[in-house]
Amino acid sequence: MMNSKIIGTGSYIPSEVKNNNAFLDHSFLDIEGNKIQSENEEIIDKFESITGIKERKYVTNGMKSSDIATEASISAIKSSSVNPETIDYIILAHNIGDVTQGSNQLDAMPSLASRVKSKLGIENPNCVAYDILFGCPGWLEGVIQANAFIKAGIANRCLVIGSETLSRVIDSNDRDGMIFADGAGAVIIESSNKSDGVLSHKTVTYSNNDEANYICYGKSNNLNSDDTKYIKMQGRKVYEFALNKVPNAMKKCFDECGHDIKDLKKIFIHQANLKMDEAIVKRFYKLYDLKAPKDVLPMNIEVFGNSSTATIPTLLDLVIKKKYNGHEIKKGDIILFASVGAGMNINAVSYQY
């Protein structure tokens, strides 16, 4: 049976670094518009202790999401040594489209994937380009779709991208806004007649009991502002939801891959919140009556922030090419990808490198 395998990775790391001290002069308000009584230094210290984020990356003024997606794609194509004209699908996951500096009006027509195809100079009309809106798990869902195309025999090679410029839609009065960042990651996925590559996958959507609105677009916490909308997140509800739902989805996925849990070498989980991710992995292993190995979880949220769809492919590229923070993947290693985000959507993919 035909399988699908990642043969190249790439990423774009924005050059502008914004550390936590940059938020000291913000006026943080609660959802009722009242000033949060704690001093900003205390708010930021608590934020850092929970999320692990010390700094994040923002794009420079002239860059848009399709621009950084193109740069990540060029890197992935180069590392795979493929001819771009042989790519059958370009699948681009994002949440806000192209947003220019100074305006938070969303722009996703034409699709960002079509823009990337144009920027790459791909002339082949049989290279189909489209976007996917699936919250933070969008890139991983794109991988699942590419895998389905390959297994169905309608594609041989796909470019899957996650790209975000969330810094352009942050409410300066919302302390949760400190979590979001920018970045882009991409992979080339190709058909293979070998047994490695994608082994199993699982996707679920929870949209009842207001779950669909845990992460959404909404007005500023400043009730005197205009009707401009920003990215909004009910942090506590997202945290509790993720801890209760994600480990089970990960287990259902891994149980179908045909390998023993002790064979699992790395877990690439959406870089959403340091403590949350660590707790998810701990609960996942507890389902097998095991403790999580100390080196199983690569993390870069401390200095990259949460770039939504870009977090997993960016980190994967860093680990593969640079052995990031001492983490590396060796030939034959079993790894697990997992993500959770707006929708509320959860997905997981087991993979043999």
Give me the amino acid identity at 164.
E
Q: How far apart are CA 343 and CA 113, in angstroms?
A: 21
Considering 28-32, 221-225, 239-243, the range whose residues carry the highest mean pLDDT is 239-243
Query: Any idea which residue has 């189909």 for tokens?
Result: 128
Instruction: Give per-residue pLDDT as tens, 254-272.
Output: 999 999 999 999 999 999 9
Contact criterion met (CB below 8 Å) for 348 and 268? no
Q: What angle do CA 43, 48, 49 make, to 5 degrees?
A: 100
pLDDT of 22 over the 90 cut = yes
Q: What is the dihedral of CA 94, 172, 239, 58, to 10 degrees?
A: 40
The pLDDT, as a whole number, for residue 87 is 98
pLDDT of 100 over the 90 cut = no
Q: Return the number of other C-beta atoms located less than 10 Å from residue 153's C-beta.
A: 9
pLDDT of 298 over the 80 cut = yes
Instruction: Give per-residue pLDDT as tens, 300-343.
Output: 999 999 999 999 999 999 999 988 989 999 999 999 999 999 98
Q: How confident is the model at residue 105 (pLDDT cuts 50, 70, 90)?
A: confident
| Token output for 188 | 């080339």
Instruction: Give per-residue pLDDT as tens, 124-180.
Output: 999 999 999 999 999 999 999 999 999 999 999 999 999 999 999 998 888 899 999
Full-prediction pTM beyond 0.95? no
CA-to-CA separations, 255 to 137, 201, 290, in angstroms, rounded: 20, 10, 15
For domain 3-194, the CATH architecture is 3-Layer(aba) Sandwich (3.40)
DSSP state of 342: T
Task: List the 334-341 sheet strands across, edge first.
Answer: 197-205, 345-352, 334-341, 264-269
Average pLDDT, the chain: 94
Contact criterion met (CB below 8 Å) for 23 and 165? no
Q: Which residues contact 315 (CB under 8 A, 6 or more apart)?
A: 185, 268, 271, 298, 299, 300, 304, 324
Q: Return the number of other C-beta atoms located less than 10 Å from residue 303's C-beta.
A: 16
Give me the amino acid identity at 322.
K
Q: How far apart are CA 70 and CA 12, in angstroms?
A: 9
| Token output for 281 | 């992995």
Task: Collect contacts of 288-293 with beta carbons under 8 A, ≥24 apart.
Answer: 288/251, 288/261, 290/261, 290/262
CATH topology of domain 198-352: Peroxisomal Thiolase; Chain A, domain 1 (3.40.47)
Q: What angle do CA 95, 213, 176 make, to 5 degrees?
A: 70
In the chain, CATH 3.40.47.10 covers 3-194, 198-352
Q: What is the arithmetic mean of pLDDT over 180-206?
A: 95
